[in-house]
């Protein structure tokens, strides 16, 4: 099974995905936009068979602005700390991920439909439905120090994550990689402990970019990426200058990018207004309105599948009563949460963790409505009517305080008293998350549906937030990793999402949008990769400066 | 006794060492009691227990607290501040990147705020009860009352966003000419001066009025000494002690207390380094910053006391 052509592996092709995003930008909800896709199957089909169409459209929406070479921009990310490092394995926040894609490349990279495409590997294939994979490296790629890319670099870059002393954030993702070995000067073979059809997507994450063999000092940021590191001071800034020898013809467009962290939101937005920076991330809903009303500034909202979820421990009272869990899910006034807490910058969710617009999203589930009466009768059935239950919220789980308040009001209507217990964000993940009968979590986007489900819903997953255990789910999850048939695999994911929607102790009211603000002189901003802000952190080689 | 001053300085320095030692113990104890440790914070929300345990061993966090303190203390004694646990860079390196910025900001602010505050305080004292005094009183009181984050944010909105005269962020690295330098430091210095001038001016006024009310100034007035000379030659030298102390207290704030200004203007100073260190539970860095702030404070207070002694012939010649 080869993956080096664009269309053989897609449920929703990148082109179709673009149509959906365009339609949404015109004010359509994603649900309607997807319906439009279904109805206009002919249109979608023609778009796939004529790949030029959507590209022409993209060029048209960007006006006469063809990519332009030259210029320097300054970009501010929302967090900055002396913990920053150019070691990709340590990546913790947006600023680290952006630096990883600025100075390095992965073997693969995500496209706008969140499908892995060739990058440093010019082709990849699995010989036995995901157990063994062969990646063919691109020829003539050199690192910033002039060294040529070899299989040894790949082996080192991947295998170092398995060493616990490195402290890699993705150690759990690479555990399945049993070995990586060089077949010849150009090809490397990955052997997995159990088949995984989605290995190429895993290798596209920013932590698994390729560094030169044997690197232990990462302060110089030596990679194969579009920019070279000119200066890097943790917690202060980095300056990236164009890599003249970049292997991708014509890229990057910019001469230099200065990346800084501004943790205070109003300072960040003011810096965008005053022209000190040209792009920022993590804009709040209220500031986003202000930015979009200002001439010369614009916002870009990306639904990346990030969600803040209600965690109901099903192994503790009262979550051990299934009716209670179901009642809580009916108590979400999702429209209100979207409007009040998120100011409209998000998307209604349906207690299923996979976001619409990604390859395995199952759209066949009926939307769970806000229904306090039904919840009241379920609570009565569960024998907890009139009970007082503590609910833990924290600024660490984005918007959980607002969601908790709204939930408290809806619960009161169903005769349930929720006592909000606010805890500080500092230390929340190690001391509170998953440790209370009723609390909130916040889950960042994962590169593939399988990773998301494996990390947060498998019975033995370390972050099985609600303690939900289901054998059938686990079997499906494992089987889906090696199922070569696309439609069968999609059905498996649909079944798993239905189980989560109906039985697990996780309530997902809305998906949160990542909002970026930018100077409209930054060109190329209509590219969207639904995995995070800053074009899923990959903007450096895609944007240009019109000035 | 000719050698009173060296004795005093030596005595102060040795008691400072004891203070520093106690402070380091307290900081260590408090940091150890905070929930979470460096390993958990490096690995973040999605760490598995195995990973955390492995990283703890790697960072030496599995050793008993007393042993870790001893390691730090013995290193500190020999001038080795240790490595930052969160990013593996030496603490000396991190501090030397930030300290010059903080010192520069403090120096400019001092150079502007101290003379201004003294002039305002002395003028107010001389014109006590008059229109000038009342206006100065109103100004300084409102400056004390308005929090600095408000001053800073309003300044950014006005000068950077609305008028576009000054940059919203203060990047030291972009300084190329004296004009740039002025532009970059204008708003942070303005904000800090607002807070400091008000405090120092009010203390100066109070200390001076105290002296002006005393019998010897009355006597000078009866002898016909002109007002200016009366204040500057007779009263002021006697008020130097309290004024110097007020100035020292205000200035000690300029090193560690300017976190709000550093945050709003994104100025890479030492205060934000310490805040980062605390939130990363980076003990070596927290300790180093605490030691620095504490010593700066002790040195400033000692200098204020020396000023008081040197300016007072009775104390000086005792």
Tokens of B108: 């400019």
Which residues of chain B have a CB within 8 Å of the CB of A232? none
Which residues of chain A have a CB within 8 Å of the CB of B84? 82
CB-closest option in B42, B54, B285 to A165: B54
Which residues of chain B have a CB within 8 Å of the CB of A164? 50-51, 54-55, 58
Q: What are phi and psi of A137, to 5 degrees?
A: -80, 145
Beta carbons of B97 and A275 less than 8 Å apart: no
**What pLDDT is attached to residue B236?**
85
Structural domain contains residue B72? no
Using beta carbons and an 8 Å cutoff, which residues of A are at the interface with B?
81-85, 90, 92, 164-165, 167, 169, 171-172, 233-237, 260-264, 266-267, 270-271, 273-277, 426-427, 429-431, 433, 442, 455, 462-463
- In sequence order, what DSSP letters do the residues of A270-300 get, joined into one string? HHHHHTS-SEE----HHHHHHHHHSTTEEEE
Structural domain contains residue A364? yes
Structural domain contains residue B27? yes
**What pLDDT is attached to residue B3?**
64
Compute and round to an integer the Cα radius of gyration of chain B. Answer: 24
Q: Is A68 helix (H, G, I), strand (E, B) or coil?
A: coil
CB-closest option in A90, A262, A274 to B266: A262
CB-closest option in B43, B86, B279 to A169: B43
* Domain containing residue B137: 5-34+81-316
**What pLDDT is attached to residue A391?**
93
Beta carbons of B44 and A276 less than 8 Å apart: no
Which residues of chain B have a CB within 8 Å of the CB of A464? none
Structural domain contains residue B248? yes
Beta carbons of B268 and A262 less than 8 Å apart: no
Q: What is the mean pLDDT of residues B278-283?
A: 82
Q: What is the pTM assigned to this prediction?
A: 0.79
**What contacts A376, CB < 8 A, 6 or more positions away?**
A327, A385, A413, A414, A415
**What pLDDT is attached to residue A172?**
79
Residue B268 contacts A, CB cutoff 8 Å: yes
**What contacts A481, CB < 8 A, 6 or more positions away?**
A130, A194, A195, A196, A197, A198, A450
Compute and round to an integer the Cα radius of gyration of chain A. Answer: 23
- Alpha-helical runs (H) found in chain B: 4-33, 38-43, 49-59, 65-77, 91-126, 131-145, 148-155, 178-212, 215-222, 227-229, 236-256, 259-264, 270-279, 283-311, 313-316
* Domain containing residue A26: 2-61
**What pLDDT is attached to residue B316?**
67
CB-closest option in B84, B89, B263 to A267: B263
Beta carbons of B34 and A427 less than 8 Å apart: yes
Q: Count of domains in chain B?
A: 1
Distance between B156 CA and the closest CA of chain A, angstroms: 7
Tokens of B51: 């990973």
Structural domain contains residue B97? yes
Block means of pLDDT (10 residues each) for chain A, 547 residues, are 40 43 45 43 38 42 70 90 88 90 95 91 90 94 94 95 86 88 94 91 93 92 95 90 93 94 87 92 89 92 90 90 93 93 91 89 92 92 86 90 93 91 82 90 86 88 88 92 88 94 94 93 90 92 91
Best mutation target among A82, A216, A394 (most B Cβ atoms within 10 Å) is A82
Beta carbons of B167 and A165 less than 8 Å apart: no
Q: Which of A456-460, B78-82, B151-155, B195-199 has the lowest mean pLDDT?
A: B78-82
Distance between A166 CA and the closest CA of chain B, angstroms: 8
**What pLDDT is attached to residue B282?**
83
ipTM of the complex: 0.72
Which residues of chain B have a CB within 8 Å of the CB of A83? 41-42, 86-87, 276, 280
Token pair 């019998």 is at which residue?
B215
Distance between B77 CA and the closest CA of chain A, angstroms: 25
CATH number at A406 reads 3.10.105.10
Q: What are phi and psi of A320, to 5 degrees?
A: -70, -10
CB-closest option in B34, B55, B265 to A164: B55
**Domain stop point among A10, A35, A61:** A61
Interface of B with A in 56-115 (CB under 8 A): 58, 84, 86-89, 94, 97
CATH number at B175 reads 1.10.3720.10
Structural domain contains residue B170? yes
Structural domain contains residue B153? yes
Beta carbons of A274 and B153 less than 8 Å apart: no
Distance between B195 CA and the closest CA of chain A, angstroms: 20
**What pLDDT is attached to residue B173?**
67
**What pLDDT is attached to residue A225?**
95
Distance between B151 CA and the closest CA of chain A, angstroms: 13
Which residues of chain B have a CB within 8 Å of the CB of A82? 84, 86-87, 89, 94, 273, 276-277, 280, 282, 285
**Domain stop point among A37, A61, A85:** A61
Distance between B269 CA and the closest CA of chain A, angstroms: 10
Q: What is the mean pLDDT of residues B208-237?
A: 87
Residue B273 contacts A, CB cutoff 8 Å: yes
Beta carbons of A430 and B35 less than 8 Å apart: yes
Tokens of A113: 């439909």
Q: Is A191 helix (H, G, I), strand (E, B) or coil?
A: strand
Query: Using the 8-state DSSP alphabet, how is residue A413 labeled?
Result: H
**Domain stop point among A35, A61, A87:** A61
Q: Count of domains in chain A?
A: 2
For residue B278, what is the nearest residue in chain A, using CA coordinates?
A426
Structural domain contains residue A265? no
**What pLDDT is attached to residue A505?**
93
Beta carbons of B276 and A260 less than 8 Å apart: no
Alpha-carbon distance of B88 to A402, in angstroms, equals 38
- CB burial of residue A488 (10 Å; 0-12, 13-18, 19+): exposed
Alpha-carbon distance of A324 to A519, in angstroms, equals 48
Token pair 């520069």 is at which residue?
B104
For residue A87, what is the nearest residue in chain B, using CA coordinates?
B87
Q: Is A196 helix (H, G, I), strand (E, B) or coil?
A: coil
Best mutation target among B266, B275, B283, B284 (most A Cβ atoms within 10 Å) is B266
Best mutation target among A74, A78, A236 (most B Cβ atoms within 10 Å) is A236
**Is the peptide bond prior to A318 cis by the omega test (within 30 degrees of 0)?**
yes
Closest to B44 measured CA to CA, from A157, A168, A307, A436: A168
Interface of B with A in 180-239 (CB under 8 A): none
């Amino acid at each position: 099974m080869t993956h080096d052509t664009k269309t053989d592996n897609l449920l929703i092709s990148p082109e179709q995905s673009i149509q959906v995003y365009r339609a949404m930008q015109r004010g359509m909800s994603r649900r309607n936009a997807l319906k439009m896709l279904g109805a206009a199957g002919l249109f979608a089909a023609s778009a796939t068979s004529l790949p030029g169409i959507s590209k022409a459209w993209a060029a048209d929406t960007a006006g006469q602005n063809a990519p332009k070479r030259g210029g320097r921009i300054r970009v501010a990310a929302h967090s900055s700390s002396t913990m920053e490092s150019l070691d990709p394995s340590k990546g913790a926040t947006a600023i680290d991920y952006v630096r990883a894609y600025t100075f390095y490349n992965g073997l693969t990279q995500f496209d706008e439909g969140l499908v892995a495409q060739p990058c440093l590997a010019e082709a990849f294939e699995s010989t036995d439905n995901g157990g063994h994979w062969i990646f063919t490296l691109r020829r003539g790629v050199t690192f910033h120090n002039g060294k040529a890319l070899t299989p040894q670099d790949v082996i080192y870059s991947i295998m170092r994550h398995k060493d616990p002393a490195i402290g890699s954030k993705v150690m759990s993702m690479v555990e399945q990689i049993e070995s990586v070995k060089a077949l010849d000067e150009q090809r490397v073979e990955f052997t997995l402990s159990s088949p995984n059809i989605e290995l190429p997507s895993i290798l596209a994450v920013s932590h698994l970019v390729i560094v030169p063999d044997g690197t232990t000092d990462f302060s110089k940021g030596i990679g194969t990426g579009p920019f070279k590191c000119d200066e890097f001071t943790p917690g202060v800034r980095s300056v990236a200058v164009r890599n003249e020898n970049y292997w991708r013809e014509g890229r990057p467009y910019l001469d230099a990018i200065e990346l800084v962290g501004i943790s205070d939101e109003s300072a960040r937005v003011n810096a965008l207004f005053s022209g000190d920076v040209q792009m920022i991330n993590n804009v709040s809903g209220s500031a986003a309105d202000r930015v979009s009303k200002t001439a010369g500034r614009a916002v870009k909202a990306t639904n990346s599948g990030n969600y803040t979820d209600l965690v109901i421990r099903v192994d503790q009272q009262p979550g051990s009563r299934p009716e209670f869990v179901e009642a809580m899910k009916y108590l979400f006034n999702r429209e209100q949460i979207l409007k009040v807490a998120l100011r409209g910058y998000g998307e209604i969710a349906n207690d299923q963790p996979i976001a619409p617009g990604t390859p395995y999203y199952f759209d066949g589930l009926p939307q769970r409505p806000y229904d306090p009466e039904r919840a009241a009768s379920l609570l009565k059935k569960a024998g907890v009517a009139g009970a007082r239950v503590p609910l833990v919220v924290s600024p660490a789980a984005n918007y959980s305080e607002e969601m908790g308040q709204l939930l408290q009001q809806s619960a009161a209507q169903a005769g349930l008293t929720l006592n909000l217990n606010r805890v500080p964000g500092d230390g929340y993940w190690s001391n509170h998350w998953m440790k209370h009968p009723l609390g909130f979590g916040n889950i960042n986007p994962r590169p593939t549906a399988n990773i998301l489900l494996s990390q947060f819903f498998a019975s033995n997953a370390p972050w099985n937030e609600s303690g939900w255990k289901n054998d059938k789910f686990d079997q499906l999850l494992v089987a889906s990793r090696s199922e070569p048939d696309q439609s069968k695999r999609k059905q498996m994911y649909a079944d798993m999402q239905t189980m989560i929607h109906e039985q697990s102790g996780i309530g997902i009211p809305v998906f949160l949008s990542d909002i970026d603000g930018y100077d409209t002189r930054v060109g190329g901003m209509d590219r969207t990769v639904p995995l995070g802000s800053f074009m899923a952190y990959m903007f450096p080689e895609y944007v240009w400066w019109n000035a | 006794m000719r050698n009173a001053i060296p004795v005093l300085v030596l005595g102060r320095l040795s008691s400072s060492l004891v203070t520093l030692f106690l402070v380091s113990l307290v900081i260590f104890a408090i940091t150890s009691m905070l929930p979470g440790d460096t390993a958990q914070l490096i690995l973040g929300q999605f760490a598995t227990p195995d990973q955390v345990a492995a990283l703890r061993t790697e960072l030496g966090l599995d050793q008993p607290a007393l042993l870790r303190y001893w390691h730090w203390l013995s290193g500190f004694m020999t001038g080795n501040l240790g490595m930052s646990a969160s990013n593996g860079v030496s603490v000396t390196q991190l501090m030397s990147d930030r300290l010059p910025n903080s010192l520069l900001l403090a120096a400019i602010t001092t150079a502007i705020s101290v003379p201004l505050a003294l002039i305002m305080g002395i003028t107010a004292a001389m014109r006590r009860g008059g229109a000038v005094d009342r206006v100065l009183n109103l100004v300084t009181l409102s400056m004390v009352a308005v929090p600095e984050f408000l001053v800073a944010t309003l300044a950014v909105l006005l000068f950077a966003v609305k008028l576009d005269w000054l940059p919203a962020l203060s990047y030291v690295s972009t300084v190329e000419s004296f004009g740039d330098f002025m532009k970059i430091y204008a708003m942070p210095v303005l904000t800090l001066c607002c807070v400091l001038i008000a405090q120092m001016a009010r203390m100066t006024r109070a200390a001076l009025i105290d002296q002006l009310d005393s019998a010897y100034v009355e006597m000078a007035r009866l002898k016909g000494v002109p007002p200016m000379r009366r204040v500057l030659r007779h009263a002021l030298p006697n008020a130097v002690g309290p004024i110097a102390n007020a100035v020292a207290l205000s200035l000690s704030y300029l090193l560690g207390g300017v976190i709000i200004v550093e945050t709003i203007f994104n100025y890479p100073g030492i205060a934000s380094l310490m805040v980062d260190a605390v939130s990363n539970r980076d003990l070596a860095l927290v300790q180093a910053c605490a030691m620095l702030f504490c010593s700066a404070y002790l040195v400033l207070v000692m200098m204020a006391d020396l000023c008081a002694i040197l300016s007072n012939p009775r104390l000086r010649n005792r």
